Amino acid sequence: MATVMFSTSCALVGPDLDELSGQFNEQVLSYGYGELVHYGIEDFYGEDTLHVDMGLNRVSPDEAAEIVHFVRQQLESEGHGDLLQTTTFDFDDQIGNAIIDIDSRIDFRLLESVAKLVAASDQIEQVHFNSDIGYTQVHVPGCADSECVRRIGAEIGAPLDELFAQQVSASTDGRSESDVPHDEGLMLSMGDLEPEGSLDPLHIWISDTRELDYRTLVNDGRLSKHLEAAAAVKEIAGPWIVEAVGGVDPARISLTRPDDDEGASEAEFADAEQRVLEFACADYDIVDVDRRKVDTAVPGTCQ
């Protein structure tokens, strides 16, 4: 994305919101977004705050991501970084074909990460973010085979890593010294929204309490790695259903037995379980097999 340089005359402390919104609207017009972006002042629980309306549902996902990036640059221009946390926004809760359920006053950088995610793949159906508990859920259609999981991972693995890193970073930036740190979680749900008669769902998830910075989390790439692992496990799991792959300390793989065994023998289940355990021993701490938990650290589990 191109970087746009803005200049404003407002001071960092206590900017005149009327003047600032007017300046931002002039910039919007000069860059050709006059029909899609408009600033104003909103009463937010008794407090005047800068508000921006964006017509993201009227353009392609790529164009929506460009618009959100443009607005972010405006909000953090000339020492106005605090506006990323205080500006409210509205965009009709849709980007492309994806329904976006996100608080209207979260760190604007999170919305930018969501827009990048939707632009990366037309498979994104829903994104739900709950700031009260620090949890994001992303929904895509289900995958019948490992190649489908790999394809989804190639498209959205890196954007998911960025979204989670931005989520943790925004939470850390907005936390006061008296606030108690809490887990930040993100789950990718792969499965039909109407579950009856659909493909078996697969969940890729992460919940992390580590105090890591944005760049470290992006480079860590845990969600990308979990997607790669899920594709590999789906390939070797035989009659088992791969239910979930995710976590950090412990990282775990969850298998469940299908309602219909489709003629698979107990020996086939045992062989496939052993293959999954051998795979898990390299990077995963726990393998859940139906209601049984296998700890890879137990002596004799991994050769």
Q: What is the DSSP string of 251-290?
A: -EEEEE--SS-TT--HHHHHHHHHHHHHHHHHH-SEEEET
pLDDT the model gives residue 182: 67
Averaged over successive runs of 10 residues, the pLDDT of the chain (303 residues) comes to 48 68 96 97 89 96 97 86 88 94 86 96 94 90 94 97 92 62 86 69 86 86 96 96 93 92 86 96 95 93 85
Cβ atoms of residues 236 and 275 within 8 Å: yes
Entry pTM = 0.90
pLDDT the model gives residue 11: 34
Joined tokens for residue 292: 């049984």
| Sheet containing 252-256, strands listed edge to edge, beginning at the edge strand earlier in sequence | 94-95, 98-101, 126-130, 135-140, 184-190, 202-208, 241-246, 252-256, 286-289, 292-295
Question: SS3 of 90, please?
Answer: strand
DSSP-assigned letter for residue 111: H
Q: Hey, what amino acid is at 251? A: A
139 alpha-carbon distance from chain centroid: 10
Question: SS3 of 234, please?
Answer: helix
Joined tokens for residue 165: 């890193």
Examine residue 299 and say whether the peptide bond preceding it is cis (omega within 30 degrees of 0): no
Cβ atoms of residues 6 and 74 within 8 Å: yes
**Within a 10 A sphere around the Cβ of 57, how many other Cβ atoms?**
15
Q: Which residue has the tokens 């926004």?
A: 89
